[in-house]
Amino acid sequence: MYSQHDILVVRHKAQYLVKSYLIAMKKMNQHSWNACCKMAGEELSDLGLTQFSGGKTFANWNVHFRIANKFPHPGRLTSSAERESNPQFRIFEYFPKAKEMFLEIANENKHQLSGKFMLEQFEEKILPTLERDSRDKECFNDGTKPQKMLMKMLTKTPSEASVLKW
């Protein structure tokens, strides 16, 4: 999920790239792509956008954007090793209904979306539903990995930071 700050960072990246593209359309025959990106940074700096300044930075964003058709998440990327070592990342693998609920809540509440909000929803709606479903299926606390994870999360919910990584 994106925080308000993350959204602002992505918007600024888009502004830098758009400006770089516009300059490149006019001056690419006389200047390199990196030079066009640098000019974009200088022009936007005059307008008060000063978070990013390097032409190479904008050029790298262009590569990421062209390959994936989206920007990478501006927050810290989670490594696959971290995902493997932290069982909290498997919540949606073990409980597909939790993923459905999480995405539905996020999509319906885009106007107030934050890590804190999603953590509250996870604690108040998703975990109780998972517990109720497990009890209905008579597998609650049966010793399997999914049930052990559920028990752990019922006693100690994940941190806001963990929820943001989901």
Query: How far, CA to CA in Å, does 24 sit from each of 7, 15, 39?
Result: 26, 14, 10
Query: Interhelix angle for 4-27 vs 55-68, to 10°?
Result: 100
Residue type, 147: Q
Dihedral angle of Cα 108, 5, 13, 19, to the nearest 10 degrees: 90
pLDDT digits (tens, 9 = 90+) for 110-147: 777 777 888 899 999 999 999 999 999 999 889 998 89
Q: How far apart are CA 46 and CA 115, in angstroms?
A: 34
Give pTM, 2 decimals: 0.50
pLDDT digits (tens, 9 = 90+) for 29-59: 888 888 888 888 888 887 777 766 666 777 7
Nearest to 154 by CA among 122, 109, 112: 122
